[in-house]
Amino acid sequence: MNLLIEKTSFASPRARALAKKLGMDLSHYNGSGPNGRIIEEDVIYYTQHLNHPISDQTPPKKQPRKITPLAKNIATIENIDIEKIQGTGQDGKIVSTDILKQIEPLHNHTDKKKIRLAGVRKVIATRMAESKRNAPHVTLTVKTEATNLVNYRNEYMKIHSFKISFTDLLIKMVAASLQQHPKINVSLEEEVLTYHNDINIGVAVAQEEGLIVPVIHQADQKSLEQISVDLKDKVTKARTGKLKPSDMENSRFTISNLGMYAVDAFTPVINQPESAILGVGRMIEDIIVENSQIRIGKTMVLSLSFDHRVMDGAPAAEFLGKIKHFIENPDEILLLQN
């Protein structure tokens, strides 16, 4: 094979097409591609920089931008073109502050403040929008008496000398309810409905950037104290940025408790691919009417949002009714202890 045919055939199709259009004889040039292959960028380089062929001339390879791993990760998440950024690190290396400058708050000449949606907040916004767009949400609400729940918690802490929260109790009760209503413990992904054997409860935790959902795995197999210790540990990690990916994986059902913010009721958004989420409102003193008698007690509102593609209203209502039953009869939780 002669040199002309060999070198021309070793050029990429795009390089050959461009060279033909420019009337360029590729047999006189070397390439910068793999194993010396002539690529389109080589043709452009020779056209712009050389007025005549030089057989031993090879265009310089484009040097990758120097960038720290953290800066690269931020740029990827925020979809920032690093080629347009001037690095301020050693030898022009791009550092994280160079990237962060691109997503700093944007100010105009009025008294308004504009902040670019970014980071965790951007991820949350995307996921919530996808959930509402893809899953037809239906929300059921019920008021439940919590007087016995308050008394049970106080008595438990007195007997066991161990502090538990209402969220700890709710996790245990939701896990027990899922055991009795397995059709709620499902997920839908790409038109495939999966029924799960493990009962893992996610708990929405507020932090400065937004919500994060650590998971209590195998909640149905844990005692109240084990749930409490696990939840406290993961909430602390969540608020200090130390949660591991494994701490947030494989959630089957989520609890979002806004009672501490004096919220009576709200419509929670499903944490897909889960099929349901429980919203918990604040506990208040209320008038209780029972057997034509009036008394003062504690009440709270539960809101169950579910994916209507996956389940109908009746099984969702039965599941919510079971949680209500446990709250009003917390002594039954003793039967669920391991």
Q: Which residues are marked as active site? A: 308
CB 142 within 8 A of CB 320: yes
CB 196 within 8 A of CB 185: yes
DSSP state of 186: E
Instruction: List, as one string, the DSSP characters of 73-131.
Output: HHHHHHT--GGG----SGGG-B-HHHHHGGGSPEE-SSS-EE----HHHHHHHHHHHHH
**H-helix or E-strand containing 250?**
none
Residue 124, amino acid: I
Do 29 and 38 touch, CB atoms closer than 8 A?
yes
Residues paired with 159 in a beta bridge: none
3-state secondary structure 211-228: EECCEECCHHHCCHHHHH
Query: Which of 168, 289, 299, 186 has the alpha carbon at shortest distance from 231?
Result: 168
